[in-house]
Amino acid sequence: MVKTLQDTRMQLQRGEATSQDLVSEALAALNSPEGQGDKTFIRVYEKEAILQAEAIDKVRKSGVELHPLAGIPISIKDLFDVAGEVTLSGSIVRKKSDVARSDAYIVSMLRAAGAIIIGRTNMTEFAFSGLGINPHYGTPLNPWDRKIGRIPGGSSSGAAVSVTDNMAAAAIGTDTGGSVRIPSALCGLTGFKPTAARVSTKGAFPLSTTLDSIGPLANSVACCALLDQTMRGAPVQVLLDKPIGDLTLAIPQTIVLDDMDGSVAAAFENVLKMLSKFGVRIVEHSFSVFSKIPMANSKGGFAAVEAFHTLRHLLETDEPNFDPRVAVRVKRGAEMLGVDYLELLNNTAQIRKEADKITRNYDAVIMPTVPTIAPVLDNLETSDELYHETNLLMLRNCSFGNFLNRCAISLPIHKAGEPPVGLMIMGNTAEDEKLLEIANSIEKVISKE
């Protein structure tokens, strides 16, 4: 049984564990020679975490009421600023860059809550891939089928493995085309991508200023809601449920159900039967608007042109030290003309309006988070063609939500012992609270089976 943040908080309150215990356990897992710690973290704050845990334990003993995250180890993706450090963003080309003058906004909010930042997690260089492969720092292996060696998903690769391997109680990642939801689905976690403007990106190294969003990877919907509240500086509130029998969910029939492997198809079909049994109304909808999104992105989309704007100087001066598979995607942005960008903006607005008209009739839209289980790492490392083909497949379903600026969450729906599979639930723009309540209800149905 997985441990939620609420479980950990109750252990601390009852005196069954201390923050020092939690940090010691996280560091033991991180430093284990049999584990994935060396590939999961780019930097570890061992001394700082131990000192902070000692201080929080003293405050807790004094009877002071603490924030629910106080004294709990949390990992952060390597693209968040930490004062006095260079933000590498999974690269080596930024090693000579200026140090950050202050913490990223979300880091400062986590610190204010008393969360213990255990370390900075590995990621795809500059967050520009859904596979999680990094040639500079290694690639942490998926917790499932580790002997064979499968990808963790990306770009928040280390974030996911830090949680699955008990090196952190939860992780903070970013999601520009699925980078929170993909690794969550492939590794058996819950991953929440909020509406883009919901959480401040101040102090986060950008991939796409239009699409970037910040979200948690954790062991439950309630965990994600707590982390989301904390990062926004919002009051901590108990997550409510939406009555499960009142829900109407739509399944798009365009693109998102294509190319499913047997494991994903079986898990998805099983969860549909479960939801129907509990009174959920499930409607198939053509959702043909999805077919317009690849066409709108045909010249590289927002990510390529906005990443090229950010990384152009580094490419000009130090391209040999880039991951070549990332560099080729970034350089696509150089091909986009000003008129192309304006056309993309116009098409995006029109497509979003069309999608809004469809989804206003449903509580949420559901689909597989990714259409296949985690691919084998070696195969992708040795073939550029397979790498790019698989990357597009991993990103496909999730990226629709980013393009539409929707909130979305991935829930694990596989049975014990089976390869991890994720169910994606996509809500309307800025209806994040409603989505979390729907996901909370669906999670409870899944846990009953």
Structural domains of the chain ordered from first start: 5-232 (3.90.1300.10)
Largest CA distance in the chain: 63
227 three-state secondary structure: helix
pLDDT for residue 368: 99
Amino acid at 105: Y
> What are the two backbone dihedrals, phi and then psi, of residue 119, each rounded to the nearest 5 degrees?
170, 175
pLDDT for residue 2: 85
C-alpha torsion sign, points 275, 278, 280, 281:
positive
Separation between Cα atoms, residue 276 and residue 271, nearest integer Å: 9
Judge whether 39 counts as a catalytic residue. Answer: no
pLDDT for residue 37: 98
Q: Of these residues, 19, 91, 162, 179, which one is catalytic? A: 179
Q: Of these residues, 39, 77, 193, 331, which one is catalytic? A: 77
- H helix runs in 78-204, sequence order: 105-113, 157-164, 181-187
- Work out whether strand 422-426 and strand 364-368 pair parallel, antiparallel, or are unpaired: antiparallel
pLDDT for residue 267: 98
pLDDT for residue 448: 79
The residue written with tokens 């010249």 in the block is 299
Cβ(210)–Cβ(187) under 8 Å?
A: no
**Hey, what are 428's tokens?**
């309307």
Could you report the average pLDDT of every consecutive run of 10 residues in the chain (449 residues)? 93 98 98 97 98 98 96 98 98 98 98 98 98 98 98 98 98 98 99 98 98 98 98 96 95 98 98 97 98 97 98 98 98 97 98 97 98 98 98 98 98 96 98 98 91
**Hey, what are 98's tokens?**
């200026």
Judge whether 447 counts as a catalytic residue. Answer: no
Judge whether 77 counts as a catalytic residue. Answer: yes
pLDDT for residue 328: 97
Separation between Cα atoms, residue 225 and residue 214, nearest integer Å: 13
